[in-house]
Amino acid sequence: MESDEEWIARLRRTALRDAEEIAPRPSFPVYGLAEPDLGLGVLTSLSDSSAEEITLAYGDPLAQGGPHLSINTALPADDEAAGALRRMLDDEHNRIVDHAGVEDPEDGEAEFSDTITVVDGAELTGPIYREGPLWTARFTVSDVVVTVVARGVAPTHLRLATVGDLRPYLERRGEWIARLIEAHRRRPVPELPAMTGLDVYRTLIEELLGFQVRHREAAREGRLPRRRVGDGRLYGPMWQRAVRELERSGRLSREAANRTVTSVVNQLTRLADRAEWFSDKRLADLAVDETIRYAVLGQPVSSRDAQLAWERVTLDGRPEDTKVWLETWDKWATA
């Protein structure tokens, strides 16, 4: 397995190779920052070999207060402007969580309006979403769509211009990635909450169901789910602790313990998605408790028939088995 240093060196070599492949620019015009002066830009994303979209970033990617700005140039796509721009704000909140490792709460209600900017000397009007120091705007230029996402930069100061050569932006990509990796290394490792016994499984399930609820609510509002500091860094260790706890107390092999934890997680997350009664916290908490006690301790529970029905689902996965499983849980919930 290559070290982080070897990986970074490989990324730099790849960036230089990519520069030779797409320089001086792809088949459509790409736009970059003319004003304000945020220093040299970096190419942060290139969609695929056909280069149907390219994103250039400027400023400090780790500064929560900015200044930071990204400019995405893409071929037109069917995407409702207001909803797409609102999701871009969600994505920017998630970016700072990932890059800087800090929570990035919303700063009031986002406001939708129009803005004017200058692109290659011509004034253009486009929609803009503003939320405190964050904003995202979109313009149609020369048959491409340009989307700007900014943090700590006034939209009235924005000026865009055609980028003639992407090579310098690509050459800086390795350094940009290396800086993000180094910042990630320096973050403190999140501590697992202290717990023993069945609380090990309850905490894991609570974390996963909370994540699922955030996804579901965001989807209902047409937004992106918001990430929190520690998402992903706690999930794996919590899962492994649950497996070790079951392995130790249940005298199971690690493989068998992992299968059991997986089954518990899959059943409860699927119930949260598909059973209407799961929105009742009392019933949801009881279903979580009974599923854990049945799977981990082998105790008799009132939902035993539903637990057995789930075992048939995991063995065969037939639609009729899933239907019976849900119906059996519904009977338990209304008993």
Count of beta carbons in the 10 Å neighbourhood of residue 23 = 15
Residue 258 is predicted with a pLDDT of 93
Identify the pLDDT of residue 314. Answer: 92
Instruction: Report long-range pairs for 266-273 (Cβ below 8 Å, ≥24 apart).
Output: 266/314, 267/291, 267/310, 268/205, 268/208, 268/209, 269/208, 269/209, 269/212, 271/329, 272/209, 272/212, 272/213, 273/212, 273/216
- Beta pairing class for 134-141 and 122-131: antiparallel
Residue 275, SS3 per DSSP? coil
- The region, left, alpha or beta by phi > 0 then psi within -120 to 50, assigned to residue 274 is alpha
> Cβ(58)–Cβ(39) under 8 Å?
yes
Report the chain's C-alpha Rg in angstroms.
25
Query: How many Cα atoms are found within 13 Å in the side-chain-facing hemisphere of 265?
Result: 23
Instruction: Write down the pLDDT at residue 39.
Output: 93
The 10 Å Cβ neighbour count of residue 286 is 16
- Contact call for residues 102 and 161 (beta carbons, < 8 A): no
Render each residue's pLDDT in the chain as its tens digit; 335 residues.
344 455 456 555 655 555 555 544 577 899 999 999 999 999 987 655 445 889 999 999 999 999 999 999 988 876 666 678 889 999 999 999 888 888 888 888 889 999 999 999 999 999 999 999 999 999 999 889 999 999 999 999 999 999 988 889 988 888 888 888 888 888 877 777 777 788 889 989 988 898 888 888 888 888 888 888 776 667 778 888 899 988 888 778 999 999 999 999 999 999 999 999 999 999 999 999 999 999 999 999 999 999 999 999 998 778 999 999 999 999 999 98
Distance CA 123, CA 26 (A): 24
Calpha distance 253→262 (Å, rounded):
14
**Rounded to whole angstroms, how far apart are CA atoms 148 and 158?**
10
CA of 133: how far to CAs of 55, 107, 110, 129, 150, in Å?
21, 8, 11, 11, 8
pLDDT of residue 3: 45
Q: Which helix (H) or strand (E) element contains residue 157?
A: none
The single residue listed with the structure tokens 């499983």 is: 325
Scanning the chain, the segments in alpha helix (DSSP H) are: 4-22, 81-100, 167-171, 173-186, 199-220, 235-250, 254-274, 281-292, 304-316, 319-334
Domain residue limits, the chain: 4-186, 199-334
Write the burial class of residue 5 (CB in 10 Å: 0-12 exposed, 13-18 middle, 19+ buried). Answer: exposed
The tokens describing 239, both together, are 């899962």
